[in-house]
Structure 1
């Protein structure tokens, strides 16, 4: 009888397992279909932005007949690009999050926290979908000045994007979670939200203590649990506004729209695409090849080449991931042949990522300009020398480590070979100067100049290097939309959080504290360096800037620090945090691009981080390095 009773249980278990497998298979197919449906218009939007901005340049500079509606149309398309890009990033699981802590856990615990992170993201999307619809509906009463259409055409991107992410979130939960983990994670997230709602009467009288609860404890817990940063910021802000203030829910959508709608941020997707383009056309390989022929016979020579190549490529792409992806595959094989250890390679690659954060056209500099009002052109000018100061520090460490390297087996390049490599690299090395000249001479704005770089790179790839793959173009456009959407959603969510912090009076309290610090400017800059090293490791560069830039830059002016000098100190300190293990996300990006285990680079990177810190202190102590050419 026991055997007879047991068989149906086995059959029932197998049936349940088969049913779950079938549901997951259906969810995976639906997720792929959603990806295709969203990717095509997102790719077309990237192309449309390039065309519209290029037309604006030609109309204004060539025909002296500005297209008055170009910027307005670009702004409308930009919000749609940002939201559809966010959907692609969500569908692919590419939204930025900190995985350093959960990466140390056992596989079962890590898998469960992935489900919790997806459930938390779903909760945020559910909470804001209706306010997003209300916001778009209210915009029907606003007419755009140039195109004279209702602003709902633009604002509709928010509810549509959030709705599509909502679908993607449900599909992700079905794909990655078993029934038990799914129910447990949903119950956990719902339980925490319900508890906060129940204790809301207790929270309101606490005043600014709620900032600690929502924006330190709750955000910190979500970030450490690998909830995507944008959704952690958003969920905490919604909770803070709904439970401790009388502000309507639609406010957070308005602040997100404001944060994502700065036209200067349009440079983000365009420079991301430019970075991918220079790698595909062979321009990056040409530059690195010339530097290798020049210094390959010197002790540690290719390490110097790596530092120099990252400096040059950063001046083109503006995206650190694109920079590292362009340089590492070209240099690392030869460096490994010469005996370089993998750990040292990835350590130096990560360190150069931090070193080149100020090289124009850095996305972080563009973000600083957009949220603080500092001149983008001034930031671009001021960012060149600080990168060189840090490069000297890194090269000093390279010299010390490789001063006894055996180069008896290395053949020195002849003058003819160097000359040939130089001639080949000239079109590629000219690009940073073309971009800078276009901005300085007034041909294009900081937003538009990327399109000049794109056109230049396409023509160079087609006519000179003959390395232009039309098949790779569509995946590159989709990747551009995905990465840009992930970045811009963080900016939108962080803008909402920054607004909540400002409205609470926190900014005034922070200003009072910072201005009251003893020691004047030196102490203020020292505290800034420590704070942004920590913030860079936890929040990454762009969200940290969006959150704290509007608060701290006015204070810097009050204590007598030039805004460009302060921007360089902030960016360099933040870059160190971003690329320093164990929490720096940039370090793990370098490891992923290099295909090197993160453990191997932990020890070698210590010396490089020390050099970066010394260089940052030098930049902080000598304002002329940042402002001498303004």
Structure 2
């Protein structure tokens, strides 16, 4: 290449990066603004209904439309920052040259999926022009913003692909063209010898997932492979199912509870709670580990996002464990194990998702998860104390009475947020979404007026981070819904249900329970937790009901099993996230993590085969 061509290429690359940075600022701004508007709509609706007995008929439709739009703009921002999770274990086993080729093909596939979603979402908006929602609002106002968000995602995907040199891009295009050509030739000349649409979908999903393709895009691509191979389904059905997957008022609790977690960190609640725990139990045997488990219990009662909890607790306590001489790998392993324990502490996002897809009471699931979480927390604390060393305890710190009083006040205000969430559910005053909205408002007011640490800039950053994180989660939910729709067309739920019922009638419900645990552990390790529950929750919960297993009890078992898989080495995505937060190589955590997971697995078996642990509180609370 000539010097002039190289210079021209450098200028073009710089201009492209500046344009991408400007677009990222725009997607951040739009996603955060839509989330803020959604929060305002929900709070206004609740106040109008409860204080003035004047229900706002349009609030539900507007809130859902804003969430869909915010989710896709937030997912675009997450893609631009490279935050999309994917399975990297198998990819890392390939030779380096193969890794580059697989990465290039993956980047091209992300671009294809994003462009397909964008085109058909906009097409769906055009098709629904003139149609209205139940409240009389234009239906296309849901699909056009979704299409614009996906179009921004397409632009970011194109930038990621174009960062490579033209030879690598050409190689990726040739590989995809060759695969498509083989399929078209086979379908034309030897159709009987070709795999079925369902088999092609399964092969595509397994190969792309093992190749490290981000999970949301691997799920969406699997559904698209079926649509393309079947040939009879229009593309707008795919876009419609993705929108349908997140177009529900219940799921608004996800971005709001994630927002609570970021606000809690920005306004100082996180540090106050951890400081109080350190002064209460930090000087006992294994005190720092006890503080870590206790902090995860408290934080999980405020934020619905386990990775947000891991980040808040790990950012403070992992450095402290290094200073005290503890093995940081063991500390990160305990942090990850505590996140598994916290999977059933309300307001967990995965409980909300399972309640939505399996038609279970979310309040009932919240109640059913408390005692199982208490059992697992007690087991982790007992092990921390038994194996803890006095040298690992936090050294005594003398605190002035006034400072101690401020610490108790700050922690008490933080615990008030937990009380608000639980009282809201118990009283029935509001839904999970409405409670999450008021929890966000509480965190904003306390942080800005009482603690005086939540500046407008910090609050805005919290909205931006929450919009991107929730967009990432909701995009996976949307993609999983599109795959679940395809599985339903193939009657997979019916076939799986008949198989599991027949097997259990022969061997007993205990075998069904064990198989369910195994399925969710395996799928939780290769999929993001939400995707595993969306696909398998609706398949397995009805079968459990037929076999006489209490749905709330069974739902808790599924969520815990999924959590164990999510943090299990070598595939668990949650473990990789905890290691990134703790700045520790995964290899250092494997041995202690397996010990903690073994303990949690024993707890899971006790929970699974002693239903009263899960059903006692729901019965007492009337669920």
- Both proteins in one fold, TM over 0.5: yes
Q: Name the counterpart of 1:6.
A: none
Residue deviations 1:47-80 (CA, integer Å, cap 9, x gap): 1011100101111112222112111111121111
1:562-601 to structure 2, matched below 5 A, reads 562-601=550-589
**How many residue pairs get matched?**
615
Answer yes or no: is 1:444 the counterpart of 2:430. Answer: yes
Q: Encode CA deviations 1:135-155: one digit per residue, 9 max, x unaligned.
A: 222211421232x23211112
Determine the C-alpha separation between the residues in 2 that align with 1:375 and 1:584.
28
Return the match for 1:45 from 34, 45, 57: 34
After TM superposition, give the deviation of residue 204 of structure 1 in Å.
7.2
Instruction: State the partner residue of 2:621.
Output: none
Does residue 625 (structure 1) correspond to residue 610 (structure 2)? The answer is no
Using the TM superposition, give the Cα deviation of residue 90 of structure 1 relative to its aligned residue in structure 2, in angstroms: 2.0
Aligned to 1:405: 390
Q: 1:360 corresponds to which residue?
A: 346
Aligned pairs for 1:33-182 within 5 A: 33-105=22-94, 109-146=98-135, 148-175=136-163, 177-182=164-169
**Secondary structure of the equivalent of 2:83?**
coil
Distance, in Å, in 2 between the alignment partners of 1:159 and 1:198 is 33
Show structure 2 runs of 5+ residues with no match. Answer: 619-623
Matched residue SS, 2:129: helix
Task: Compute the RMSD of aligned alpha carbons.
Answer: 2.2
Question: Is the CA contact (8 Å cut-off) linking 2:284 and 2:390 kept in structure 1?
Answer: no
Q: SS of the residue aligned with 1:269?
A: helix
Q: Helix, strand or coil for the counterpart of 2:138?
A: coil
- 1:482 positional shift: 1.3
| Residue 134 of structure 1: how far off its partner (Å) | 2.8
Q: Counterpart in 2 of 1:22?
A: 11
CA distance in 2, matches of 1:550, 1:439: 24
Measured in 2, the distance between the counterparts of 1:158 and 1:466 equals 37
In structure 1, how many angstroms separate the alpha carbons of the residues matched to 2:512 and 2:7? 62
Deviation at residue 104 of structure 1 after TM alignment: 4.8
- Structure 1 alignment gaps of length 5 or more: 1-11
> What is the rounded CA distance, in whole Å, between the counterparts of 1:161 and 1:332 in structure 2?
37
Q: Is the Cα–Cα contact under 8 Å of residues 321 and 328 in structure 2 kept in the other structure?
A: no
Kept after mapping to 1: 8 A contact 2:197/2:229: no
The 1:566–1:629 alpha-carbon spacing in structure 2 relative to 1, beyond 3 Å, is same
The whole-number CA distance in structure 1 between the counterparts of 2:454 and 2:115 is 43
- Pairing 1:247–2:233 present: yes
2:246 and 2:558 mapped to 1: Cα distance?
22
SS at match of 2:120: helix
Structure 1 position 314, deviation (Å)? 0.7
Map of 1:529 onto structure 2:
517
Distance 1:91 1:300 in 2: 41
Mapped partners of 1:576, 1:550: distance in 2: 20
In the superposition, relative to structure 1, how do residues 628 and 35 fare at CA in structure 2: closer, same or farther (>3 Å)? same
Q: Is the contact made by 1:385 and 1:626 (CA closer than 8 Å) also made in structure 2? A: yes
Alignment of 1:246-395 (within 5 A): 246-395=232-381
Counterpart Cα distance in 2 of 1:128 and 1:429: 42
Report the Cα offset of residue 107 of structure 1.
Answer: 5.6
1:188 aligns to 2:209 (yes or no): no
- Whole-angstrom distance in 1 between the partners of 2:195 and 2:563: 30
Shift of the 16–603 alpha-carbon distance from structure 1 to 2, 3 Å rule, reads farther
TM-score relative to the length of structure 2: 0.94
Equivalent pair of 1:346/1:590 in contact (CA under 8 Å) = yes
Deviations 1:129-185 (A, max 9, x none): 443333222211421232x2321111212322222222222122112x111111111
**Counterparts in 2 of 1:251 and 1:90: CA distance versus 1, 3 Å:** same
Deviation at 1:393, TM superposition (A): 2.2
Indicate yes or no: 2:528 matched with 1:540. Answer: yes
Q: Distance in 1 between matches of 2:303 and 2:329?
A: 25
> Aligned in 2, Cα 1:310/1:140: closer, same or farther, shift over 3 Å?
same
Q: Is the 8 A contact 1:119 1:186 kept in 2?
A: yes
CA contact 1:242–1:248 (8 Å) conserved in 2: no
1:458 aligns with 2:444: yes
